[in-house]
Each structure stands twice: as structure tokens, then as C-alpha cells.
Structure 1
Amino acid sequence: MRSYFQKFRGEHAPLASKASFKDIAFAWGGGFIAIALIGFLTQSLEYPLVLGSFGASCVLLFGFPKSPFSQPRNVIAGHFLSTLIGLLFFHIIGDMWWSMALALATALAVMLATNTVHPPAGSNPIIVFLLGAPWTFLITPTLIGAVILVIVALFYLNLKKSLMYPSYWI
């Protein structure tokens, strides 16, 4: 048991290198454009496209675009599958704390099994339960919003000469 608690001290690995001001400014611009577009479309079309987890998606897309978690298949499928699972548990099993926990754990397992892990999407089952979301939540804001994020990332990230996005599609 003693060695278990000793693990809490960490490995003393070096801290990750800090991003340059130029990279920080570029990431800021991408996050601003992506969420501004989603917000503008939501207001203009009077159609809900904003999802709280999209903020964290922007951190990955524009701060860490080469990460496997930032690739289009992960962003789109991760959000879609996690929301679908949240909706299934919410509407079929019911609005109970243990159902929400099962939904989150199942979404995590499905993303791992399908190699579509997108950490921000892990919050989608919780969001479904908190909002009491209808089935249409799967398409809007989830699917349409995730696609918009990827489209913005495609156009914006490729403006940077030293970057090619995505690393892969499928």
C-alpha cells in the first residue's frame, strides 16, 4: 500500500515547453473565429449551434492541432457518439445520477473502442442530462457544430505555412 501512495508524488518529468507568443496569438485567432462563427450563426439563424464542450474542442484544435484528439474523425465522431450515448441513456433509462454516470463511462469506452477519442466530447453526456436534451440535440448543436469547428480549423490552420491540418481523416 505504501508504494501506491508514493506514486502520488509523480515521476518528476520535465514541464512541457511553453508556446511562443506567435503560436498563442494564432491559437487565439482560431478559437475566436470558430466560436464567433458558431455564435453568429446561432443568433442569425435562430438555430442552436453552441455547445459548451466546443470551447474545449477549440483548445485542442487551435492549440494542439497535431494531436490525435484534434483530428476531424475524433472531433466529429467523438462529439456525435458521446451525445448519442447520452441521449440513449437519458431517454431510455432515465434521468438518474447512476444513468448519467453509465452514459459517461459508456461514451468513454466507445470512443476508446472506435479510436475516436475527443476529450471535450466526454462532457456531452453530462450536458445532455443537465439540459434534459431532446433527440434533435444530436444534430444541432452537436453534429452541425462539430462539423463547423472542423471546417474552420481546415481553413484557418492551413494558413500557417509550417502546419498541415489534418494529419489524417480516417
Structure 2
Amino acid sequence: MKRLGAFFGKMKGAEQAPTRPHFHDIAWSWVGGSAGIGAISLLSIISKLPMLLAPFGATCVLIFAATDSHLAQPRSVIGGYLVSALVGVIALSLLGSSPWVVALSVGTAIAAMQLTRTLHAPAGAMPLLALAPGTDALTLLPTALAGAFTLIGIGLLVNNLRRDRAYPRYWV
């Protein structure tokens, strides 16, 4: 019973929620996120390919609002999308898209990102996209990489316009 109490006791949290960022920081996050998704939208129109993937919105949160996070660094963004999309496409090719394949693909993508030091939370959705009905798995990898590189490029521009910010913290 004591172990059960300790287990549930960990769920109450030990810290207060962070304070709201300064309006200046919020405005820069807005500019970056808008510019990043705007650039991908423009690429989508030019290429005539569906490039607006939902995980890119979450990537914008990391690159423009949590810039110092390990999850926001170029290695994690690009590598995470590459690894996770490959896991999804390979799983689909070899095993189909049954529920157990979908479940194991997400778990495998997480483990593969950890093994390769490319953990990027939004990229964890790539196996779900690869295995979703109607998805063109052949275009998923190039779309994911084009979006990742675009967001990193916009992140380099927008984040480094600020005097008090340097992005990225590391590349490799």
C-alpha cells in the first residue's frame, strides 16, 4: 500500500507552472511560427505537393518558443523527421498498416530517435502519417525533410535577428 501511495504521490507534481513569457518573446514566436508555416505553404503551392503536415506546427512551437530545447536543435528536427518517416515507410512496406504495426512503429520511432540522438517530439507522428489511409508513403520522406529544412532555415533567420538569442545551440 505504501508503494501505491508513493506511485500516485509522484503524479501531483513538484513545481509551479512557468510564468508567462514577456510579450516581446510571444511576438517573436508569432512571427517565427507564421513565417515558417507560410514558407512551407508557399513551397506547397509552388511544388503542387501537399506539404502542410500537422507535426510542422508543433515543430514551430519548439523552434520559435522553446529555442534552447534539445528538441528544437537542427540535428533533432531534421534527424527526427528522417528517422521517424523511415520507420513508418519501412513498417508499411514490410508489415502493412494493422493496428499493432501502427503502435509498434511509433514506439520504434521513439527508440530510434533516442538511439540516434535525434529526439524530436513532433516527428513521433510520422509513422502515424505513413500508415494512415490515403497517405502517399513515397512522398512522405521528401515532404518531411523539405519541411524540416525549411523550418530550420526560417528559425536561423528569425531567431538570430534577436540580439539576445543565438540559434542553434549545436548542429551535431
Measured against the shorter chain, the TM-score band is over 0.9
Matched residue, 2:5: 2
Matched residue, 2:103: 101
1:45 to partner: Cα distance: 2.6
Match among 42, 64, 87 for residue 44 of structure 2: 42
Q: Which digits, 9 at most, give the CA deviation of each residue in 1:47-90, with x for residues without a partner? A: 23221100000000000111111000100000111011011111
Is 2:48 the counterpart of 1:52? Answer: no
Matched residue, 2:24: 22
TM-score, structure 2 as length reference: 0.93
The answer for unaligned runs of 5 or more in structure 2 is none
1:120 to partner: Cα distance: 0.5
Cα distance in 1, alignment partners of residues 84 and 60 from structure 2 = 17
Cα distance in 2, alignment partners of residues 83 and 36 from structure 1 = 23
- Name the SS of the counterpart of 1:158 in structure 2: helix
1:108 to partner: Cα distance: 0.2
Matched residue, 1:119: 121
Is 2:74 the counterpart of 1:78? Answer: no
Match among 92, 95, 109 for residue 94 of structure 2: 92
Cα distance in 1, alignment partners of residues 47 and 85 from structure 2 = 23
Contact kept in structure 2, 1:38 and 1:148, CA below 8 Å: yes
1:132 to partner: Cα distance: 3.5
Cα distance in 2, alignment partners of residues 4 and 68 from structure 1 = 28
Matched residue, 2:34: 32
Cα distance in 2, alignment partners of residues 64 and 152 from structure 1 = 15
Contact kept in structure 2, 1:158 and 1:165, CA below 8 Å: yes
- Name the SS of the counterpart of 2:161 in structure 1: coil
Q: Which digits, 9 at most, give the CA deviation of each residue in 1:77-133, with x for residues without a partner? A: 001110110111112111100000110000000111111100010111111112443
1:41 to partner: Cα distance: 1.6
Match among 63, 76, 96 for residue 61 of structure 1: 63
The answer for unaligned runs of 5 or more in structure 1 is none
